[in-house]
Structure formats: structure tokens, C-alpha cells
């Protein structure tokens, strides 16, 4: 018969095995995660759900269209730029729903069931292609490529830094991954990667169109603005995370 005593004995045997095979440090980490981190995380997730439930639903304007802010407990989107990035990208996904779609950076998989290809060099998961974007050359190209706050890390938050890698990656997406007439929609925070900012404002990233949005208050409300109004914007100041973002559009010729 399986009793609470049996369950306790099994846990003791498992802990002793970890101690013998992996050492004291590994055992301590696993005990911390089980007894402290997991309960606290569950409590925080519960309160996040409460916040979302009671938070008034707001809207912002993007290219003349009224879109809802996106509230989700993963990454507490109501506190940062995800609140507008996700609905903007979803708007484009709706327009290309019957087409071939690629997402660079596994972001939307945390919020929606994925029905398109995803490429991400580091994140593991079902249907995720683990390949460096700069070398990615698919046999079957895509009609739409989307990316949410990922390209700013390319060549910047990597072991080998390369300031030019971000522009080379965008060029590769445009020339080797998009079908004729295809479109790429890329969101990136301003102020995070100084190299990216320099290339962005000197028109060296290869975007065919740039759209800018800026955070305007503590409530995390955003407004579409001109390029001049986001120049010099800092990351994590005066508000948490991005205070301005760019939506870069790349277009493959017909």
C-alpha cells in the first residue's frame, strides 16, 4: 500500500542519491527551488492573475488603428513594452494567417498556441529551429517574418560581440528568408543596445519603414511619435524596461 510514509521515504532516497551523485551544492539548489522558490512563484502568479482581472482594459493607436493593450502574467506585460509589442505583431499575423510565417525569437509561444515556424538560437522547445539567424537560409521562404524584442541581443548579448551582426541578420532575413513581396515586422527597444541605436538613426539597419512608439506615463500607456521624439531615449529610465520602441518594416521586392 502506498502511504505518506512511503512517499516520504522515496523523497529521502532521491535526496540522498542527488547528494552522492551531484554533491551538496546541487542538493541545496534543488531543495531551495522546491521549498522556497516554487511556493513564492505560485503566490506571485496568483496575484498577477488578480491584477490582470481587475486592471481596466485600455487601448492605444497604431497606424490609425485602435488596438488593446496586452495583459498577461508571463513577463508581467502590463509593466513593460510587451503590452504593445504583442498586439501589434498579432495584427500583422491576422493579415497573413493563411500564409507562411516565421517568428525570430521564441516570444509568442509563451502566450499563444504556435502555428508557424520559430527560429531561436538558444531556446529549446517543440518546433523551434535552433539556428543562428545570420546563417538561416530556408528552402521554403516566408511571406511574413515577425520578431519581438530579440534582434537587439544579436551580436550584443553574445560571447563574441559583433556590432555589425544585427544589420547582417536583417539583411539575411530580407534577402534569403522572405518570399517575393513578403514582409518583415521587427520590434526592438531603443536605448538597450547603443550600436543598434546608432545604426537605426543613421538608416543602416536596412528597414524600408520605421514606426516609433514612446511610453508616456507610469501607467505604461504608449503613443505613436516621430523619430525625433525618441532619439536619446534611455532604457530603464524614467520607467522600467523600454521607454521607446521601433517597429522596423522590411519588404521584399515583388
Cell matching residue 207: 528597414
Cell numbers 559583433 correspond to 162
DSSP for residue 75 = G
pLDDT at 76 (0 to 100): 86
Cell numbers 543613421 correspond to 202
Cell matching residue 89: 505583431
| Mean pLDDT score, 27-55 | 55
pTM: 0.80
Q: How far is CA 15 from the centre of its chain?
A: 36
Angle between helices 4-22 and 24-32 (to 10 degrees): 140
Q: Looking at 124-128, 146-150, 249-253, which range is the least confident one?
A: 124-128
Q: Domains plus CATH for the chain?
A: 4-52 (no CATH), 56-251 (3.40.50)
pLDDT band at 97 (very low <50, low <70, confident <90, very high): confident
| Mean pLDDT score, 212-239 | 96
DSSP H stretches of helix in the chain: 4-22, 24-32, 38-54, 82-95, 165-172, 194-201
Whole-angstrom CA distances from 185 to 2, 41, 93 are 55, 33, 10
Q: How far is CA 203 from the centre of its chain?
A: 23
Residue 24 has pLDDT above 60, yes or no: yes
Q: Are 233 and 191 in contact (CB under 8 A)?
A: yes
pLDDT band at 4 (very low <50, low <70, confident <90, very high): very low
pLDDT at 57 (0 to 100): 77
Amino acid at each position: 500500500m502506498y502511504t505518506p510514509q512511503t512517499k516520504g521515504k522515496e523523497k529521502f532516497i532521491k535526496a540522498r542519491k542527488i547528494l552522492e551523485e551531484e554533491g551538496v551544492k546541487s542538493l541545496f539548489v534543488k531543495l531551495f527551488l522546491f521549498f522556497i522558490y516554487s511556493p513564492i512563484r505560485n503566490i506571485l502568479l496568483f496575484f498577477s492573475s488578480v491584477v490582470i482581472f481587475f486592471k481596466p482594459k485600455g487601448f492605444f493607436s497604431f497606424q490609425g488603428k485602435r488596438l488593446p493593450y496586452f495583459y498577461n502574467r508571463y513577463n508581467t506585460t502590463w509593466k513593460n513594452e510587451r503590452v504593445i509589442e504583442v498586439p501589434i505583431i498579432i495584427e500583422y499575423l491576422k493579415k497573413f494567417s493563411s500564409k507562411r510565417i516565421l517568428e525570430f525569437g521564441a516570444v509568442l509561444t509563451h502566450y499563444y498556441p504556435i502555428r508557424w515556424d520559430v527560429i531561436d538560437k538558444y531556446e529549446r522547445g517543440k518546433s523551434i529551429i535552433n539556428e543562428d539567424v545570420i546563417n538561416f537560409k530556408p528552402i521554403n521562404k516566408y511571406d511574413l517574418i515577425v520578431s519581438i524584442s530579440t534582434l537587439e541581443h544579436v551580436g550584443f548579448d553574445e560571447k563574441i560581440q559583433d556590432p555589425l551582426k544585427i544589420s547582417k541578420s536583417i539583411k539575411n532575413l530580407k534577402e534569403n528568408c522572405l518570399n517575393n513581396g513578403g514582409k518583415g515586422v521587427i520590434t526592438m527597444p531603443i536605448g538597450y543596445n547603443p550600436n543598434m541605436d546608432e545604426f537605426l538613426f543613421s538608416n543602416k539597419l536596412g528597414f524600408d519603414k520605421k514606426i516609433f512608439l514612446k511610453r508616456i506615463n507610469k501607467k505604461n500607456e504608449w503613443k505613436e511619435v516621430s523619430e525625433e521624439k525618441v532619439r536619446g531615449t534611455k532604457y530603464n529610465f524614467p520607467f522600467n524596461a523600454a521607454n521607446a520602441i521601433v517597429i522596423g518594416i522590411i519588404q521584399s521586392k515583388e
